[in-house]
Structure 1
Amino acid sequence: MTDWDARVEAVWADERLTDAERIPLIDALASERGPDDARALFERAGARDSAGIETEAVELYRAALAAGLDEEHRAQAVIQLASTLRNLGEIADSLELLRAERGRGGAFADAASAFYALALASAGEPRAAAAVALEALAPHLPRYTRSVTAYARELAADAG
């Protein structure tokens, strides 16, 4: 972890800050990396997203993705962008992003599945949402993995 990463993490971890107070601190750190730096754009997007300034966050997430994030931050940016789009009522776009992200696998596949389930629920597809959530949860259960996986498949087939 670089010094910059540690300072960014410290701002996010400071529970004394309000979301609005966090924005200028993140912006100051982002300015150290330049206006077109992918990580700086990503952190600025996240700060605005947390503060409820979602339309600005969407623009910054898209810019961060276009600028080329490393895989860890790319996955997070896609998930966060998709979640924000869902909150803004752009459910079809949210579903599209999350469907693709789930298909990529990797460390954030379960997180993508959780937000995909939320987007499906927002789209009026609660059975499909439950199937996705259960399918993501099943491998983490100490027992009943096979049963829960089978039930998830049944729900998905019924949601069809």
Structure 2
Amino acid sequence: MANIQHATLAGGCFWCIESAFNSIEGVISAFSAYAGGQTANPTYEQVCDGTTGHAEVVRVNFDADKISYRDILEVFFALHNPTQINRQGNDIGTQYRSEIFFHDNEQKKVAEQIIDEIELEEIWSSPVVTEITALNNYYQAEDYHQDYFSKNPQNQYCNMVVAPKLAKFKKKFASLLKS
């Protein structure tokens, strides 16, 4: 019986984050979604206009007997720049913020520990701005956003942003990839 747990993470465009997590051993599924805002059942267009308070997030469903929450967060911090406020590269707005939405107090504790370690090790030249918040107002994104990168490899954004990010990720985390 699998020890299924969930992580909900915001680190810029959800297409990038989702694609990476779906390629990791122990991850059962990763879905693009929205969380943290006040608008019920938001659309992509509403989230993009920046008035809903929601972030683009990825819900990672994983087998904790195969990969730990800590490992999930270490991948998360390697996939984006956690020192940028409300942006990742050219994606700008509160919907692209860096945020960990914890599901329980143990996840909150692990997230705080990892951020403390990152700061102590001075991995980034600027302070980490990743927010740690209890999961609230979670909504799965529209179907066309799910597994977007693999379904739309010809998309210009995917070619210019997602593909290079995934290539770098796969090189760094080769030992974690599904065979």
Normalized against structure 1, the TM-score is what? 0.25
Bigger Cα Rg = 1
Normalized against structure 2, the TM-score is what? 0.23
Q: Which has the higher contact order (CA 8 A, sep 6+)?
A: 2
